[in-house]
Amino acid sequence: VGRAQVQQEPSAETTEGTGISINCSHPNIKFNEFILWYRQLPGRGPEFLVRALQGSQEVRSPQGRLSVAADRRSSALWLARPRRGDAVLYSCAL
């Protein structure tokens, strides 16, 4: 309570097929908290994509990778070859 959990840029843009990194800041993360990423298609609930404590983790759909900074205060979801259908809401959480 009283601490910002995560911070994200409001939007990110790329062209179809060109990789993009979506960044998330979580400066107050605790040592045992997982970093979770979701995406949400219009009119649907959030869909879990990936979670990690540290290092990097492969994402299968959409194809990409979650990378966690060494100090765990930020993470980045890399989408390797985004398609039009991947232009949806992406959210990180702890």
Q: Which domain holds residue 24?
A: 17-72
Q: Is 61 a member of any domain?
A: yes
Tell me phi and psi for residue 79, to 5 degrees. -100, 115
Q: Does residue 2 surpass a pLDDT of 50?
A: no
Give the pLDDT of residue 5: 85
Q: Which residues of 61-93 are buried (b: 16+ CB within 10 A; e: fewer)?
A: ebebbbbbeeebebbbbbbeebeeebeeebbbb
Beta bridge pairs of residue 38? 48, 91
Give the pLDDT of residue 4: 57
Structure confidence by residue, pLDDT tens digits, 19-50: 999 999 999 999 899 999 999 989 999 999 99
Give the percent of the chain with pLDDT over 70. Answer: 96
Please give the tally of structural domains in the chain: 1
